[in-house]
Structure 1
Amino acid sequence: MSVVDFLTPEKWLQPDGGPRYVQLRKRLSEGVDQGLLKAGSSLPPEREIATITELSRVTVRKAIQALAEDGIIVQKQGSGSFVASDAPQIEQSLSRLTSFSEDMSRRGMVSSSVWLERGVFMPSPDEVLALALTPDASVSRIARLRTADDKPMAIERASLSTEVLPNPLMVETSLYDVLEQSGLRPVRALQKISAINLEEENANLLDVAPGMAGLRIERTSYLADGRVVEFTQSIYRGDAYNFVAELRLAKE
């Protein structure tokens, strides 16, 4: 159902249903609850809502202000009104090499996964380069949607040499727990973080509006002897993560 169809007044506006702004506030709130208006998506402009609903702009403005007071939407000067995020806010240190499961456990949150891919494949050119593989090598891939307290948070796609992870089905929860059991847990990593706008496929997995801000993180992890263990490409919700790094004054 489109937003225009959802807001058509014949479907919800009642003459004896109370103040019109209250009815509109309830209808918009239902749109959020039903997922029609996703977290991070923008509401149509007041003028457009007034035209669709056949209500005055004053009535529309009162309804939107009420939603903002309830924390259902966020008003940004010069940008409009947006559906507020329902994701937990995570402050992630860039100085610690931990798994998603460990991060969520430290915060008292329950992590889980939805598997998107798990198997052994021929490596892509990026995987050959990142993992220092020979052209005839194979690679184990595990891709999953990571959730915290049932809220989708990130899409992780990890690639490892089959010498490091011969059977990707061994990974049921934490990849790092499996690597630690074989003495191959990484001890350091290099990360590259870039800002993106989420494409439709990834936005749908993360249950946010397409075009919403996100973070792309590429990480290459190493053993103490310098060998590459893991190459990970992840997409994070931009409204859920704050990455923090401690900086010190360099000595001359």
Structure 2
Amino acid sequence: MSTPLPLEQLQSVRGGPLYVKLRKMIEDAVASGRLKHGDALPAERDIAEAAEISRVTVRKAIDELVEEGLLVRRRGSGTFVVKPVPRMQQPLSQLTSFTEDMRRRGMVAGSRWLSRGLFYPTAEETMMLGLVGGARVARIDRLRTANDMPIALERTSLPDDLLPDPDKIEDSLYLCLLDAGIRPVRANQRISAVLLKDEETKLLGVPPGSAALSVQRIAYLETGRVMEMSRALYRSDAYDLVAELGIGSPMKPQD
């Protein structure tokens, strides 16, 4: 069985009960990088056979690592490594780009382009962006990273007259637009929890069935025109969205 766990050596390892030795073997594999965030463990029966131990022993070791948060069980999928990742907070009171967010935290923002170009708009894009006639839409799909760690999947659509050449974007869409004198002044955002599709979990490096924060944004220019519509899927294990709320005026008693 091909595995980063040298299970055939477990019986000869010193260090207490078998379940403790198995637990430490898994912890060491995660700490050394042989098992990475999102990697699946072999099935419990396969571990038991390879290590020549009982499934009860395997279950006890895995149960403890699940309680500690190092592993997670996904019903119907298996057991996966969930090595802790740095959590980031994004205030909802400011309209900033992903690149600005990461730079403010002292991190290096990056992008992996999934697709970009000019396309015929969907019905939703036509309506939301106010497109008319034969106008096309500039659409960009990217995997966003922070210090090379996958953080979010992002799709953004803009009218083609605002972004006639999507290939000109380097790191930041907003900086590219600013060079052309285009700048959003306000935006509406809708946030919801979603389950990621299999392809999305692979791109983000998270276990199958993982949840994400879906952030849908409509940004406006000073004229009131819609500048962009976007949807981003943020890893829920790495990102917190934070809102600051003010206290309203106290209600007056009714006569």
**Distance of aligned partners of 1:67 and 1:12 in 2 relative to their CA distance in 1, 3 Å threshold:** farther
Counterpart position of 2:14: 18
For the residues of structure 2 that align with 1:66 and 1:201, how far apart are their CA atoms?
Answer: 27
For the residues of structure 1 that align with 2:83 and 2:217, how far apart are their CA atoms?
Answer: 26
Asked whether the equivalents of residues 89 and 239 of structure 2 are also in contact (C-alpha less than 8 Å), the reply is yes
Asked whether the equivalents of residues 12 and 27 of structure 1 are also in contact (C-alpha less than 8 Å), the reply is no
> Once the two structures are aligned, what percentage of the paired residues are identical?
43
Asked whether the equivalents of residues 156 and 235 of structure 1 are also in contact (C-alpha less than 8 Å), the reply is yes
**Residue 140 (structure 1) aligned to one of 126, 138, 141:** 138
Q: Which moved more, 1:12-21 or 1:88-97?
A: 12-21
The one-letter code sitting in structure 1 at the alignment partner of 2:182 is L
Q: How much does 1:58 deviate?
A: 4.8
Secondary structure in 2 matching 1:12: helix
The one-letter code sitting in structure 1 at the alignment partner of 2:123 is P
For the residues of structure 1 that align with 2:240 and 2:154, how far apart are their CA atoms?
Answer: 17
- In the alignment, structure 1 residue 157 sits paired with structure 2 residue 155: yes
Counterpart position of 2:88: 90
Secondary structure in 2 matching 1:103: helix
Unaligned runs of 5+ in 2: none
Secondary structure in 1 matching 2:9: coil
The one-letter code sitting in structure 2 at the alignment partner of 1:38 is G
The one-letter code sitting in structure 2 at the alignment partner of 1:248 is G
**Aligned-pair Cα RMSD in Å:** 3.3
Counterpart position of 1:247: 245
**Distance of aligned partners of 1:22 and 1:163 in 2 relative to their CA distance in 1, 3 Å threshold:** same
Q: How much does 1:10 deviate?
A: 8.7
The TM-score normalised by the length of structure 2 is 0.80
**Residue 128 (structure 2) aligned to one of 127, 130, 134:** 130
**Distance of aligned partners of 1:62 and 1:132 in 2 relative to their CA distance in 1, 3 Å threshold:** same
Q: How much does 1:93 deviate?
A: 0.4
Equivalence map 1:207-226=2 (5 Å) = 207-226=205-224
**Distance of aligned partners of 1:13 and 1:110 in 2 relative to their CA distance in 1, 3 Å threshold:** same
Deviations 1:122-150 (A, max 9, x none): 01112112211125210111111011011
Secondary structure in 2 matching 1:114: strand
For the residues of structure 2 that align with 1:51 and 1:16, how far apart are their CA atoms?
Answer: 15
Counterpart position of 1:38: 38
The one-letter code sitting in structure 1 at the alignment partner of 2:124 is D
Counterpart position of 1:173: 171
**Distance of aligned partners of 1:240 and 1:14 in 2 relative to their CA distance in 1, 3 Å threshold:** closer
**Distance of aligned partners of 1:62 and 1:210 in 2 relative to their CA distance in 1, 3 Å threshold:** closer
How many pairs does the alignment contain?
241
Q: How much does 1:36 deviate?
A: 7.0
